[in-house]
Amino acid sequence: MKGFIISKTIIILMLTLIMLGAFAPAVAGSLDEYIKRTLFVQAEQVAGLVNVMQASPSGTSHKFFLPKGDCELTVTNGVINLTQNKNSIVREIISHIVVEDKKILCIKGEDKVFYIKRCGDRIFIDERERRCN
């Protein structure tokens, strides 16, 4: 009887491992797609916030959170580039006023907070809340 239970357990374990091996690529692909979608949404949100700030009065600010993990947010010449895990999303912003160039790096294991602030005829993206002069 013990031999039957052991052989049945081994067969169940082998079938489970085979099924896991068969579905692993699909799970990995869906995880990569999830990361790309999340990155796309966040890049769209940052670009949208900058566009809204252009129509806002001076002194308006917004606090934005990036998720935990290694990422890089770069703003250069009216273009937002958000990179995470070798995936990169680029979004252009409507530039009626100057948006200062900035690079913000995320640290693995910590939420990253940055501020978008309109000061006069400029928009600043910074890790600390800025005061308008």
What is the tens place of the pLDDT at every residue in 5-56? 888 888 888 888 887 777 777 666 777 788 788 888 888 888 888 888 888 9
Q: Torsions phi, psi of 127, nearest 5? A: -80, -15
Q: Are 117 and 130 in contact (CB under 8 A)?
A: yes
Q: Between 133 and 88, name the one with better pLDDT.
A: 88
pLDDT tens-place string over residues 73-122: 888 888 888 888 788 888 888 777 888 888 988 888 788 889 999 998 88
Report pLDDT for 1: 66
Q: Between 60 and 85, name the one with better pLDDT.
A: 60
Torsion sign across C-alpha atoms 85, 91, 93, 98: positive
Rounded CA-CA distance 42/126 in Å is 17
Q: Between 44 and 130, name the one with better pLDDT.
A: 44
pTM of structure: 0.71
Report pLDDT for 26: 67
